[in-house]
């Protein structure tokens, strides 16, 4: 049977674009449909604008540091519209690059929403039908909000880059990557940030000691973090709420609430611990769901899991042999570089005749909280469940912070197998921890032992040298 294309990719995010380009490079006839903007979550409303906001937010602390280092600087104020304009210009530029790369690879672009009609046919929202030998679904995910009264008044990370004004106060709900990163970003930009997390400590699943230090650092920098607390109700604030709010002190003696734009423009919130407050904005960072609604998946025979994710095997193949799925829509590991790898492995398997399973083991990652976190492998808690381990850990004030009179500490931690001496986990809380873990991650992925780390000469004076100079375990378990 003759198909219009060898491959039809649905979704122009990092995973879909990479798969389309690499498949086209093998000589395959490839098309890609994207309903919104090329680049997907990472480029348009995720990693890239988030990281630029991390950079922007870091300057407030740098003004203080600069003074400590002898510079005569006067702290200016942050101009959100100016930054936002620059940010969106940059995103437009990056989107243009994505389009150019696809064009240059000979991939046909459909600026349309696509859904499956059957295992080899895609139907576009303008009614056109296109057939393909293989279909790759790479439609990503979207933020989800809890089902509470008034939730529609809140925003998500999708909205944060387009706000007309920076709020003066914000309540962030959640304790995951997005909630904790934006708490630091907005705090650095001068917003009064309150964060509610329903659990005992933010960043569930990561190393406990690292989580504790990050939470402590965030609080020291000014984030009003409430653990074991959730939102139960919210509504538009009334004049009475606003005047009540102005008189209620918060912990630490800071003003209770700040609401912008005069009476009635704030959001009144009731928390599970009984606290009632008014905030300028409420942001939900309560997880993400796969974009599988209205995609015709079940009708085409593709299995969709309990959380809406597409169920795939280790080759990213669905139950329908001609249909594959990669990236966040499969809810395996929701990280851009993982989606890209899944896309490359798909092309290797399907277009290069070299079946390649995706390796999801030992993935390094960074959480751009302030302080920053870099991590790979098992947390101390998880490792102890698996085998006897030695824990090497060092926590100290780095020289640049100490000189500037800052109290923040950094942490370097290695989780080492007693039996094999292999480093099972490496966890870093420090400035540039993301950069450090990329490099330490190579050693861990290679199976380096503690003694391999020790054989490596320290680079002095750096923070990272602690990774190779920790002599005695702080505990065994
Ligand atoms: P996460 O799953 O990391 O966090 C969701 C948070 O919301 C958790 O703290 C969860 O609590 C809480 N939550 C869930 N439901 C509710 C509810 N009904 N009420 C209150 N709280 C709730 O999701 P994110 O949205 O932060 O991020 C999604 C994914 O995106 C991440 O898993 C990550 O893979 C990726 N990402 C990666 C980044 C990076 O690499 N730096 C940056 C941003 C995102 P609980 O823990 O109790 O379940």
Q: Is 346 helix (H, G, I), strand (E, B) or coil?
A: helix
Label residues 375-403 b or e (16+ Cβ within 10 Å = b): bbbbbbebbeeeeebbbbbbeeebeebee
Q: Could you tell me the residue ranges of all domains in the chain?
A: 5-142+288-351, 151-284, 365-476
Structure tokens at 72: 């005569």
- Give the count of beta carbons closer than 10 Å to the beta carbon of residue 155: 18
The CATH architecture annotation of domain 151-284 reads 3-Layer(bba) Sandwich (3.50)
Q: What is the DSSP string of 295-336?
A: S-HHHHT--B-TTSPBP--TTSB-SSTTEEE-GGGG-S---H
Phi, psi at 272, each rounded to 5°: -65, -20
Q: What is the DSSP string of 67-95?
A: HHTT---------HHHHHHHHHHHHHHHH
The rounded Å distance from CA 176 to ligand 1 centre is 4
Does the C-beta of 12 come closer than 6 Å to ligand 1? Answer: no
Domains 5-142+288-351 and 151-284 fall in the same CATH topology = yes
pLDDT of residue 292: 98
Write the residue with the smallest CA distance to atom 41 of ligand 1: 367
How deeply is 471 buried, as exposed, middle or buried, from its count of CB atoms within 10 A (0-12, 13-18, 19+)? exposed
Look up the CATH number of domain 365-476.
Answer: 3.30.390.30
Does the C-beta of 201 come closer than 6 Å to ligand 1? Answer: no
Quick check: 325 and 305 in contact, CB under 8 A?
no
Q: Which atom from ligand 1 is nearest to the alpha carbon of 175? A: 9
Nearest Cα neighbor of 430 from 461, 457, 396 is: 396
pLDDT of residue 263: 40
The rounded Å distance from CA 174 to ligand 1 centre is 7
pLDDT of residue 262: 37
pLDDT of residue 36: 96
CATH 3.50.50.60 fits 5-142+288-351, yes or no: yes
> Is 460 tagged catalytic?
yes
Nearest Cα neighbor of 237 from 213, 270, 204 is: 270
| pLDDT-flagged residues of the chain (< 50) | 247-264
pLDDT of residue 25: 98
Q: Is 419 helix (H, G, I), strand (E, B) or coil?
A: coil
Single pTM value for the model? 0.95
CA distances from 83 to 57, 88, 126, 146 (A): 11, 9, 37, 31
CA 241, CA 8: separation in Å to the nearest integer? 54
Does the C-beta of 287 come closer than 6 Å to ligand 1? Answer: yes
């Amino acid at each position: 049977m003759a198909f219009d294309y060898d491959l039809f990719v649905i979704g122009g995010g990092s995973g879909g674009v990479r798969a389309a380009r690499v498949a086209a490079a093998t000589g395959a006839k490839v098309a890609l449909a994207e309903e919104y903007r090329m680049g997907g979550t990472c480029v348009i409303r995720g990693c890239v604008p988030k990281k630029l906001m991390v950079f922007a937010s870091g300057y407030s602390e740098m003004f203080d540091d600069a003074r400590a280092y002898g510079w005569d600087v006067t702290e200016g104020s942050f101009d959100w519209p100016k930054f936002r304009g620059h940010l969106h210009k940059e995103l437009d530029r990056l989107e243009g690059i994505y389009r150019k790369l696809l064009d240059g690879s000979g991939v046909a672009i459909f600026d349309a929403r696509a859904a499956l009609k059957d295992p080899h046919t895609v139907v576009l929202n303008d009614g056109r039908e296109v057939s393909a030998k293989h279909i790759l679904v790479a439609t990503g995910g979207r933020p989800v909000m809890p089902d509470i009264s008034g939730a529609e008044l809140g925003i998500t990370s999708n909205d944060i880059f387009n706000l007309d004004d920076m709020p003066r106060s914000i309540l962030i709900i959640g304790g995951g990557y997005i909630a904790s990163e934006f708490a630091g970003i907005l705090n650095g930009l001068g917003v009064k940030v309150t964060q509610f997390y329903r659990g005992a400590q933010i960043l569930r699943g990561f190393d406990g000691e690292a989580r504790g230090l990050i939470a402590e650092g965030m609080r020291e920098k000014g984030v009003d973090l409430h653990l074991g607390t959730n939102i139960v109700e919210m509504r538009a604030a009334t004049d009475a709420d606003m005047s009540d709010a102005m008189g209620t002190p918060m912990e630490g003696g800071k003003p209770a609430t700040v609401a912008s734009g005069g009476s009635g423009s704030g959001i009144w919130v009731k928390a599970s611990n009984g606290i009632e407050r008014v905030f300028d904005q409420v942001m939900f960072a309560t997880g993400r769901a796969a974009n599988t609604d209205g995609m015709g998946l079940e009708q085409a025979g593709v299995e969709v899991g309990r959380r809406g994710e597409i169920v795939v095997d280790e080759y990213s193949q669905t139950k329908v042999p001609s249909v594959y799925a990669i990236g966040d829509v499969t809810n395996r590991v929701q990280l851009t570089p993982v989606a890209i790898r899944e896309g490359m492995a798909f092309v290797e398997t399907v277009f290069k005749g070299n079946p390649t399973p995706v390796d999801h083991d030992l993935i390094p990652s960074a959480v751009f909280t302030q302080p920053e976190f870099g991590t790979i492998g098992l947390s101390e808690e998880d490792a102890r469940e698996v085998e006897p381990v030695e824990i090497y850990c060092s926590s100290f004030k780095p020289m640049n912070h100490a000189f500037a009179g800052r109290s923040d500490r950094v942490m370097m931690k290695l989780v080492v197998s007693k039996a094999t001496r292999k480093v099972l986990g490496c966890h870093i809380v420090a400035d540039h921890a993301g950069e450090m873990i990329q490099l330490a991650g190579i050693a861990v992925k290679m199976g380096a032992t503690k003694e391999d780390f020790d054989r490596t000469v320290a680079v002095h004076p750096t923070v990272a040298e602690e990774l190779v100079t920790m002599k005695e375990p702080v505990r065994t378990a």
